């Protein structure tokens, strides 16, 4: 190795050692500067956290106040829209198109009522028969005429029969006596009520 190479190597070593000493001696300064920056960042973030909450609160309050202040405008716009739609779809007459699925809509309600009432009138005899069958199942005991349910011979309490007539009684004048008579005979009472 030549003298010049040896001198360059020694200078490089000297520079490296000085650099290393500089880095080692600067560690504390870097740590201190880094800790100071960290403290500043944390302080700012804490400040921003409080500020962010306030910003969110202000945004929400402002939005709510804005909506509330425009409630009348929104209500009026919705009412105008509803009126426009109602004017377009109002059903006042039959659709012009004979193939429309709404054909006959003006008669649907009355046809529905007519269907129900026709069904009721056509089945009045069936309802009367069911009422008669129900009446024959009624058990009426004469006061003091039979043993109690326990078989002890104690007389049962007097029987009270309540009849509730809903509607026009004259419509059932012909069938009411026969229903009562069937109930009496079904319960083994031979004497008229």
State the pLDDT at residue 101.
82
Is 96 a residue whose pLDDT tops 60? yes
Q: What would the mean pLDDT of 101-117 be, rounded to a whole number?
A: 85
Q: How far is CA 98 from CA 6, 90, 95, in A?
A: 112, 18, 7
The more confidently predicted of residues 33 and 90 is: 33
Q: What is the mean pLDDT of the chain?
A: 75
Q: What would the mean pLDDT of 14-34 be, rounded to a whole number?
A: 82
The predicted-structure confidence for 142-185, as pLDDT tens digits, reads as follows: 544 444 444 455 555 566 666 665 655 555 556 666 666 555 55
C-alpha count within 13 angstroms, C-beta hemisphere, residue 71? 4
What SS3 state is found at 146?
A: coil
CA dihedral (59, 60, 63, 68) positive or negative: negative
Q: What share of the chain is helix, strand, coil (3-state, %, to 5)?
A: 70, 0, 30
Q: Please give the share of the chain, as a percent, with pLDDT higher than 90.
A: 2
The predicted-structure confidence for 41-86, as pLDDT tens digits, reads as follows: 888 888 877 788 888 888 888 988 888 898 888 888 888 888 777 6
The more confidently predicted of residues 145 and 107 is: 107
Q: Are 189 and 142 in contact (CB under 8 A)?
A: yes
Neighbours of 182 (CB within 10 A): 16
Tokens 């026009």 — which residue?
168
């Amino acid at each position: 190795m030549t003298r010049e190479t040896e001198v360059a190597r020694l200078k490089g070593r000297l520079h490296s050692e000085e650099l290393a000493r500089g880095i080692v001696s600067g560690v504390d300064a870097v740590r201190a500067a880094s800790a100071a920056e960290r403290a500043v960042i944390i302080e700012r973030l804490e400040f921003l956290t409080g500020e962010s909450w306030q910003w969110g609160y202000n945004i929400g309050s402002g939005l709510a106040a804005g909506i509330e202040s425009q409630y009348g405008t929104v209500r009026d716009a919705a009412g105008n829209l509803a009126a426009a739609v109602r004017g377009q779809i109002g059903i006042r007459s039959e659709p012009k198109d004979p193939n429309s699925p709404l054909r006959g809509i003006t008669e649907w309600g009355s046809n529905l009522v007519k269907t129900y009432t026709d069904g009721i009138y056509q089945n009045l005899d069936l309802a009367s028969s069911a009422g008669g069958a129900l009446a024959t199942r009624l058990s009426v005991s004469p006061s003091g005429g039979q043993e109690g349910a326990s078989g002890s011979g104690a007389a049962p309490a007097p029987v009270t029969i309540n009849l509730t007539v809903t509607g026009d009684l004259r419509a059932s004048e012909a069938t009411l006596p026969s229903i009562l008579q069937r109930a009496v005979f079904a319960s083994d009472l031979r004497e008229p009520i």
